[in-house]
């Protein structure tokens, strides 16, 4: 079924878009505080407004099936909050556990020694360190099957960067910004890609070379602007300037000078190695079945035909005990709290951090009451980023309850019979703008693109993935963007001023790439 806009819908769309633009202008010109909250609210209202213009529907292959109109209003926000918790629960838990981990880590003299030593030794080498950090984070995000896992190292890197008197925009770019560059050129990673590919039937390696080109070019261009900004900051260095660091490391004093940093270095190295093992999909991407085979053998152990280990360490989250959670982290699979190496989900990362936090407390002889106090303080410090994360998923919930994106897609491609990379890019941009979870883009429209443009599927795959990363860099429905801005207390307007030239440049590069691949 093809969708065309009537006069009333066109007028309604113009009104909704005009009011959104007006609201954005007012925030830019008049608002002085809580700008990010206002942008999130504006996007939620935009989603609500679009439900009054477009009906909703679903795709079955290339066939669109209309569900009619289902206008949403302010009274429906309660339902959105419910869906928000449902969609973002694993990420909320992960962020809270991450905050607790660093709060307890701050009680370690070895961690203080590590940060202070790096701060001293990296003076004069700040730009090199920025590039190394950016490369480290970008590659992890591009390869890991869970995009939030690199956040484990982000507070540590930010503390070092800020101690070098770099500003918060540089710190953001080297960490959160680099994660979004990793999303722009996802290669083997991203939890959303696996879901997207499931609904489209596309192989992960489709368009891999194109995505690798985008990753390399995006990384170079992004860090070109980052280094230019960092050079300016270092040249105008203000020794008295105070920059917010939620987990700021104080200078060493007294007996702390004699502390050893190597245990903390070893801890970070072990965490990194474990995340590489757990979050690189060895089986699907590289044909390495070693970890899965061990997992299967362990779970297949039976006593009188009873799979003892499989029953003892339940795969179901609802049946999880603390012991089964820890053991399951090593041995099991699926979207539960268990998975073999290469198939971990975000809850494994949370469990890894909990175990690491306990080890830190024991090694540093932190008293139980102090441990609980630090744990609570850490979660408290991360509450605002958690709230921002929920804001991103609130926007997605508004678009999920009444999936108008499918109708917009059907309208865009009304009468289109040949592959057009520009229309596909537009459709991918709009779809991803309302979905911080890339998998939902595949769920809603993936089957349409796969069925309609099967002969250009490599480029379709590339366009959707790169547009998701592109959107993540500036649209206030981006979970990573909102978490990062609130963590470092960066005004959304300041970030747009900082990033707009890169956005323009990478957009031109993407359009050129899509044009060359399609028509030349």
Which tens digits make up the pLDDT trace of 405-417? 999 999 899 888 8
Confidence bin at 328 (pLDDT 50/70/90): very low
Across residues 393-412, what is the average pLDDT? 89
* Boundary residue ending a domain (359, 381, 403): 381
For residue 18 the two structure tokens come to 């005009």
Give me the numbers of helices (H) and strands (E) for the chain, helices first please: 25, 4
* pLDDT number for residue 337: 39
Residue with the larger pLDDT of the pair 80 and 327: 80
For residue 94 the two structure tokens come to 């992960």
Percent of the residues in the chain that have a pLDDT greater than 70, as a whole number: 90
Q: Quote the DSSP letter at residue 153.
A: G
265: number of Cβ within 10 Å: 15
Chain segment 91-114, per-residue pLDDT in tens: 999 999 999 999 999 999 999 999
- Smallest CA-to-CA distance from 143 within 275, 292, 267, 295 is with 275
Q: Indicate whether 247 belongs to any domain.
A: yes
- Smallest CA-to-CA distance from 208 within 195, 192, 193, 198 is with 193
Q: Indicate whether 1 belongs to any domain.
A: no
What burial class does residue 93 get, using C-beta atoms within 10 Å of its C-beta: 0-12 exposed, 13-18 middle, 19+ buried?
middle
Q: Cα angle vertex 477, ends 476, 481, to 5°?
A: 65
Residues 161 and 289 occupy one common structural domain = no
Task: Give the C-alpha separation, 112 to 360, whole Å.
Answer: 13
Please say if the pLDDT value at position 327 is more than 60.
no
Residue with the larger pLDDT of the pair 520 and 225: 225
Angle between helix 290-300 and 322-331 (nearest 10): 130
- Smallest CA-to-CA distance from 365 within 31, 107, 59, 39 is with 107
Domain total in the chain: 2
Dihedral over alpha carbons 226, 180, 422, 420 (to 10 degrees): 140
- Smallest CA-to-CA distance from 181 within 225, 135, 231, 128 is with 135
Residues 96 and 54 occupy one common structural domain = yes
Residues 112 and 173 occupy one common structural domain = yes
Across residues 236-248, what is the average pLDDT? 75
* pLDDT number for residue 238: 65
List Cα–Cα distances, 133 to 124, 223, 268, in angstroms. Answer: 16, 11, 14
The mean-pLDDT minimum among 315-319, 351-355, 392-396 falls in 315-319
Task: Give the C-alpha separation, 134 to 207, whole Å.
Answer: 24
Q: Indicate whether 320 belongs to any domain.
A: yes
* Residues whose CB falls within 8 Å of the CB of residue 404, separated by 6 or more in sequence, listed in order: 47, 50, 51, 53, 54, 55, 56
Residue with the larger pLDDT of the pair 266 and 291: 266
Q: Quote the DSSP letter at residue 261.
A: S
Please say if the pLDDT value at position 320 is more than 50.
no
Across residues 193-199, what is the average pLDDT? 82
* pLDDT number for residue 77: 82
Q: Are 165 and 485 in contact (CB under 8 A)?
A: no
Please say if the pLDDT value at position 392 is more than 80.
yes
* pLDDT number for residue 162: 94
* pLDDT number for residue 253: 78
Residues 481 and 342 occupy one common structural domain = no
Residue owning tokens 């560059």: 181
Q: Is 454 helix (H, G, I), strand (E, B) or coil?
A: helix
Please say if the pLDDT value at position 50 is more than 50.
yes
Dihedral over alpha carbons 276, 277, 281, 283 (to 10 degrees): 150
Q: Indicate whether 351 belongs to any domain.
A: yes
* Boundary residue ending a domain (381, 416, 448): 381
Residues 511 and 386 occupy one common structural domain = yes
Q: 63-68 and 56-60 as β-strands: parallel, antiparallel, unpaired?
A: antiparallel
**413 pairs with which residues across the strands?**
none
- Smallest CA-to-CA distance from 478 within 514, 503, 446, 515 is with 503
Please say if the pLDDT value at position 314 is more than 60.
no
Task: Give the C-alpha separation, 271 to 261, whole Å.
Answer: 16
* Residues whose CB falls within 8 Å of the CB of residue 137, separated by 6 or more in sequence, listed in order: 150, 153, 154, 157, 174, 175, 178, 179, 182
* Boundary residue ending a domain (349, 381, 413): 381
Chain segment 337-350, per-residue pLDDT in tens: 347 788 888 999 99
354: number of Cβ within 10 Å: 19
Please say if the pLDDT value at position 447 is more than 60.
yes
Residues 70 and 195 occupy one common structural domain = yes
Q: Indicate whether 2 belongs to any domain.
A: no
Please say if the pLDDT value at position 12 is more than 90.
no
Residues 203 and 241 occupy one common structural domain = yes
Chain segment 153-177, per-residue pLDDT in tens: 999 999 999 999 999 999 999 999 9
Confidence bin at 324 (pLDDT 50/70/90): very low
Dihedral over alpha carbons 267, 155, 108, 341 (to 10 degrees): -20
For residue 262 the two structure tokens come to 């190597």
Q: Is 57 helix (H, G, I), strand (E, B) or coil?
A: strand
Residues 218 and 264 occupy one common structural domain = no
Q: Are 145 and 286 in contact (CB under 8 A)?
A: no
Chain segment 342-371, per-residue pLDDT in tens: 888 899 999 999 999 999 999 989 999 989
- Smallest CA-to-CA distance from 169 within 100, 116, 222, 115 is with 222
Residues 487 and 499 occupy one common structural domain = yes
Residues 104 and 221 occupy one common structural domain = yes
The mean-pLDDT minimum among 20-24, 281-285, 493-497 falls in 281-285
Q: Are 201 and 61 in contact (CB under 8 A)?
A: no
Please say if the pLDDT value at position 326 is more than 50.
no
Residues 239 and 290 occupy one common structural domain = no
Residues 309 and 377 occupy one common structural domain = yes
Domain with 42 in it:
7-251+382-519
* pLDDT number for residue 179: 96
- Smallest CA-to-CA distance from 439 within 126, 211, 239, 200 is with 200
Residue with the larger pLDDT of the pair 151 and 320: 151
Percent of the residues in the chain that have a pLDDT greater than 90, as a whole number: 51
Please say if the pLDDT value at position 240 is more than 70.
no
């Amino acid at each position: 079924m093809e969708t065309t806009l009537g006069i009333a819908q066109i007028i309604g769309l113009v009104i909704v878009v005009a009011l959104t633009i007006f609201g954005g202008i007012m925030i830019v010109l008049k608002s002085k505080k809580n700008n990010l909250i206002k942008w999130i609210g504006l996007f939620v209202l935009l989603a609500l407004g679009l439900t009054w213009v477009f009906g909703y529907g679903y795709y079955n292959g290339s066939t669109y099936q209309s569900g009619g109109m289902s206008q949403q209003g302010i009274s429906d926000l309660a339902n959105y909050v419910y869906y928000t918790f449902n969609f973002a629960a694993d990420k909320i838990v992960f962020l809270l556990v991450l905050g607790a981990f660093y709060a307890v880590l701050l009680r370690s003299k070895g961690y203080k020694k590590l940060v202070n030593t790096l701060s001293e030794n990296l003076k004069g080498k700040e730009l090199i360190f920025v590039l190394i950090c950016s490369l480290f984070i970008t590659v992890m995000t591009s390869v890991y099957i869970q995009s939030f896992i690199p956040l484990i190292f982000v507070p540590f890197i930010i503390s070092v960067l800020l101690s070098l008197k770099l500003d918060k925009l540089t710190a953001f770019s080297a960490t959160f910004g680099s994660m979004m560059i990793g999303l722009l050129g996802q290669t083997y990673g991203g939890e959303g890609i696996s879901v997207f590919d499931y609904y489209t039937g596309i192989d992960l390696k489709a368009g891999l070379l194109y995505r690798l080109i985008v990753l390399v070019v995006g990384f170079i261009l992004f860090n070109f602007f980052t280094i230019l900004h960092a050079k300016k900051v270092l040249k105008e260095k203000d020794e008295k300037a105070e920059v917010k660091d939620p987990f700021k490391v104080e200078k060493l004093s007294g007996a702390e000078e004699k502390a050893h940093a190597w245990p903390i270095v070893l801890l970070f190295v072990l965490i990194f190695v474990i995340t590489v093992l757990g979050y690189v999909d060895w089986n699907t991407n590289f044909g390495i079945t070693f970890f899965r085979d061990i997992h299967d053998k362990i779970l297949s152990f039976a006593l009188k035909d009873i799979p003892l280990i499989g029953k003892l360490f339940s795969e179901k989250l609802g049946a999880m005990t603390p012991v089964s959670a820890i053991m399951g982290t090593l041995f099991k699979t699926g979207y539960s709290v268990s998975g073999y190496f290469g198939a971990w989900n975000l809850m494994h990362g949370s469990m890894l951090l909990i175990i690491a936090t306990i080890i830190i407390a024991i090694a540093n002889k932190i008293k139980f009451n102090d441990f609980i106090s630090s744990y609570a303080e850490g979660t408290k410090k991360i509450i605002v980023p958690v709230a921002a994360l929920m804001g991103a998923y609130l926007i997605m919930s508004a678009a999920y309850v009444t999936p108008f994106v499918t109708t917009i897609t059907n309208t865009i491609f009304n009468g289109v019979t040949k592959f057009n990379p520009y229309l596909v890019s537009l459709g991918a941009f709009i779809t991803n703008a309302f979905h911080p979870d890339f998998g939902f883009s595949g769920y809603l429209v993936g089957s349409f693109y796969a069925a309609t443009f099967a002969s250009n599927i490599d480029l379709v795959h590339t366009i959707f993935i790169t547009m998701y990363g592109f959107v993540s860099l500036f649209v206030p429905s981006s979970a990573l963007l909102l978490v990062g801005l609130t963590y470092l207390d960066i005004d959304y307007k300041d970030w747009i001023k900082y990033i707009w030239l890169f956005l323009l440049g990478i957009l031109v590069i993407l359009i050129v790439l899509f044009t060359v691949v399609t028509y030349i």
